[in-house]
Structure 1
Amino acid sequence: MLAGTLRQVLGEAKVSTSPSVLEAHGRDEGYPEVRPPLAVVFAETVADVQAVLEVARREGVPVIPFGAGTSLEGALVPQGPAISLDLSRMNQILEVRPEDFVAVVEPGVTRKRLNERLRREGLFFPVDPGADASLGGMAATNASGTTTVRYGGMRANVLALQVVLANGEVLELGRAVRKTSSGYDLKDLFIGSEGTLGVITRLTLKLHPLPEHVHTLRVFFPSVERTAEAAYAILASGLPVARLELVDDLALRAVNRYLDRNYPERPALFLEFHSATAAAMQEESRFALELVREAGALEVEAAMTAEERTAQWEARHQAYWALVNLFPQRKYLITDTAVPLSRMPELVGYARALMDEMRLEGNILGHVGDGNFHTLIAARDDAYARAEAFAERLVARALELGGTATGEHGVGLRKKKYMPLEHGNALAWMARLKTLFDPEGLLNPGKVV
């Protein structure tokens, strides 16, 4: 019945009830449950989005915006009958203005495709969560990644949004300028809202020049604790590091097998500098080498060519799939936390000790340059409850240290239970904002608040 109504309004080609399509839209990459929606609509225009929301209001059926499906915390999983609003066909790069360092894109454009287009201009969009996510989805979860320590996450790199509200109204939020003091900042309210307040239909993005002088180091340490301490020493030094990634020994063992590499199977820091001049690059590299050797580095390797750097970051981005390959047929639980920089080594050490104490197999890796890291547990069926207990204890410790339950993955379903402890009375005001923008509770209900 619902699918028939949607087909009448939008046409046959934009609506699917194929079991495989429904299943793909009832899951994400990290949540264990799959709950297919009633129908999937492939929107191609803003008018399509408005039409879906009109049907949803009339039928009383929730709508879940869907990008590339790469989220991890259950934000895409329906809580009941729902329409999945797939925005992947809204994939046009509408405008590139190199003189203003600005690009305007539809939400289905992926970050890799945008950067391929920008290369001819000598520019790039820096937010790099690893997966080739859609830019609309990245804004919806306030994604960040390997370059956040230098360039910031999505909030720092989105200048303006077009958003469709549940009532069909179109809002233009923000301006294509680097700074403004005009009015309440509604644009940033929608970034990180996970589709619970409105549907993002256009983004205006801040661009950056491609760095001319890039130098990368791989530094190996005797323990993950020493690795984290070295990362903090580099940050405290004031060096202009562009990427600072921790990868533990298990992750590198998995990467070696998965990608046929020969990395030393010890905890490591992967560092990258985007330097202003060749002389600055040499001086920054020299200082970094001094710091890591003082911190107990066992081995240092430099990636001097573009090919070597690509291989290095491939290893970091493929670490998740490498671990899945190393432990097939397991259930995988990912927890991401972030703490003040000075407490990051402490929490990394706590995570490693807790994993051992609870007899769990998994790894630690992440963007330690901004105090954020991930633990990935590969649990057998009889150990999944133990993995969940590990995640709860780790998040609780992060909050005790002044941190957050999620640095970049978002809240979704899995992290909702931590919101009262983290936000206190502010959570009630978040719920009021949700009611203000979506009074009928049609947009991705049951998530965040």
Structure 2
Amino acid sequence: MTLRTPSGHPAAIDALRDLLADRLVTTAADREAHGRCETWYPPTPPEAVAYPATTEEVSDIVKICQAHRCPIVAYGAASSLEAQHLAVSGGISLDMTRMNRVLDVSAEDLHAVVQPGLTRLALNEELRATGLFFPVDPGADASLGGMAATRASGTTAVRHGTMRENVLALEAVMADGTVIRTGSKARKSSTGYDLTHLLVGSEGTLGIITELTLRLQGVPEATLAATCRFATVEDAVNCVIATIQSGLPMARIELLDEMMVRGFNRYADSGLPERPHLFLEFTGTPASVAEQSDLFADIAGDFGMEAWQSATKTEERSALWSMRHKAHYASQALGGPGKQLYVTDVCVPISRLAEAVTHAQTRTRDLGLTSTIVGHVGDGNFHCGISIDPSDGAEFARASDFAHELAGHALRLGGTISGEHGIGLGKRDLMTAEHGAAVSVMRAIKTALDPRDILNPGKLLPPAGGA
């Protein structure tokens, strides 16, 4: 594939080359690599890729882009699913992966200070000797800056919360190049606007995160993972509802519908019966873990649980969660050669979860779509992975219609259009349906902080006067 370097912002690129030398790259290979997405979105290469090494360099880059009205999109591990990192308006991809150091670990205060290009697995490897770990686990080995920018969560959110709960403080470069610090290492504060959590989840549209102070947790004394299956997805989900409502402190509780299990069997020859499954984890002391698993088994028995299997060895538990974390690729394998994924997620109150999941299954079947369901159902969040041929207009339209219908259904149930994937490009037109007049407030904040609209333009907020 031959790519031509766009000439949209040549003065900015020349100035950035003077600043960064060979760390400002315009080769076709680099641009193409930074224009890819994990899902159906078409390749969208930036005009150039910048590789900063310090906060000061990020500030200088942003000042140049501000002066030349050149868009700038922060880039980490590129694992986002709603095209948050694609440079759809051209400009610069700001690759943060060289800012990947652990700056400080305070075991006594249970926090770490890190640069944004560090990945979650690299942080936990660094923490191994301390007896601590960073708990947020979205599955992919995502960059921590990207996780904060998209307010990521994952399999452990039912116990430890999302990035919103686990970022204590941050440093960010604003649209004019100003460097700010928000929050502190204290566990709480009542001073001023909460700028930390304004930037967490802003998808790079308000500022570029250059440092994070993160909460850590102690590695539990004992851990038990388990799987079980049910006759129907409704039985499995109702078991989850009863478990959460009982107050049982689950570390993880994940749903796989029968189509997702079929995908795992096709992708990795898992050998699982093609029935709805729950993947579970219990943590604590050996005695509390045994008590938790027994209590869960009692609850699950009321919903026809079968084939309980548990694992306490590290390698067995790792294999189980490694399989779960490959759900994206297993869903893709289910569709067959040439297919890509149209991925959507919603989150609903736990009491309405069974209704939402069964509605999603029914509608995809009615529409003739091949779709998996997998979810962090302990907090009411689930994902649909729909196999499509993006060049098949009719199939793409059915997938898009379903995603919009599912979002509307989630809102009617008191939920949200995305519990985890964020907005990016894919759900901008649904923001007003969820937030109403608050979208105008969000747009006012964006205009105040980024008046030239250079920070990840075209993402998260619908156009003024649009949906």
Query: Which residue of 302, 306, 318 maps to 1:310?
Result: 318
Mapped partners of 1:84, 1:216: distance in 2: 40
Within-5 A mapping of 1:234-383 = 234-275=243-284, 277-326=285-334, 327-380=336-389, 381=392, 382-383=394-395
Paired with 1:220 and 1:413, the residues of 2 have a C-alpha distance of 36
For the pair 1:230 / 2:239, whether they are aligned, the reply is: yes
Task: Output the CA distance in 2 between the equivalents of 1:165 and 1:242.
Answer: 37
Query: Does structure 2 retain, via aligned residues, the 8 Å contact 1:404–1:422?
Result: yes
Partner SS for 1:241 = coil
| 1:215-250 per-position Cα deviation (integer Å, ceiling 9, x unaligned) | 122010111121111111111111010101001122
Q: Give the conservation status (yes or no) of the 8 Å contact 1:10–1:51.
A: no
Matches within 5 A, 1:52-131: 52-131=61-140
For structure 1, which runs of at least 5 residues remain unmatched after alignment? none
Provide the C-alpha distance between the structure 2 equivalents of 1:134 and 1:404, rounded to a whole number of angstroms.
25
Residue 431 (structure 1) aligns with: 443
Distance in 2 (alpha carbons) for counterparts of 1:281 and 1:83: 49
Q: Please, which of 148, 153, 166 is the counterpart of residue 157 of structure 2?
A: 148
- Aligned with residue 199 of structure 1, among 208, 215, 220: 208
| Shift, 1:320, TM fit | 1.2
Is residue 149–residue 242 contact of structure 1 (8 Å, CA) maintained in 2? yes
Aligned to 1:447: 459
Alignment check: 8 A CA contact 1:31 1:73 kept: no
Aligned partner of 1:389 among 401, 421, 424? 401
Distance in 2 between residues matched to 1:152 and 1:427, nearest whole Å: 25
1:9 is aligned to 19
Residue type of the alignment partner of 2:400: E
Matched residue type, 1:45: T
Runs of 4+ off more than 4 Å = none
Counterpart of 1:201, as a letter, is: T
Between the two proteins, the alignment pairs up a number of residues equal to 447
C-alpha contact (below 8 Å) 1:31/1:72 kept by paired residues:
no
Partner SS for 2:267: helix
* TM-score, scaled to structure 2: 0.94
The 8 Å contact of residues 334 and 375 in structure 1, kept in 2 or not, is answered as yes
Distance 1:335 1:431 in 2: 24
Q: Deviations over 1:424-444 (max 9, x none)?
A: 111100001101111111101
- Report how far residue 123 of structure 1 moved: 0.5
Letter in 2 for 1:50: S
Cα distance in structure 1, aligned partners of 2:291 and 2:319: 24
| Identity score, percent | 47
Displacement of 1:31 in angstroms is 4.4
Contact kept? 2:89, 2:457, Cα under 8 Å: no
Alignment TM-score, normalising by the size of structure 1: 0.97
Q: Which moved more, 1:178-187 or 1:193-202?
A: 178-187
Q: Specify every segment of 5 or more residues in structure 2 that has no aligned partner in the other structure, as ranges.
A: 1-9, 462-467
Q: Secondary structure at the match of 1:11?
A: helix
What CA RMSD, in Å, does the superposition of the two structures yield over aligned residues?
1.2
Q: How far apart are 1:24 and its partner, in Å? A: 1.9
Measure the CA separation in 2 of the matches of 1:328 and 1:52. 41
Question: Is 1:139–2:171 an aligned residue pair?
Answer: no
* Residue deviations 1:147-178 (CA, integer Å, cap 9, x gap): 00000000100100001001111111000121
Q: 1:183 deviation in Å?
A: 1.7
Q: Report what 2:418 is aligned to.
A: 406
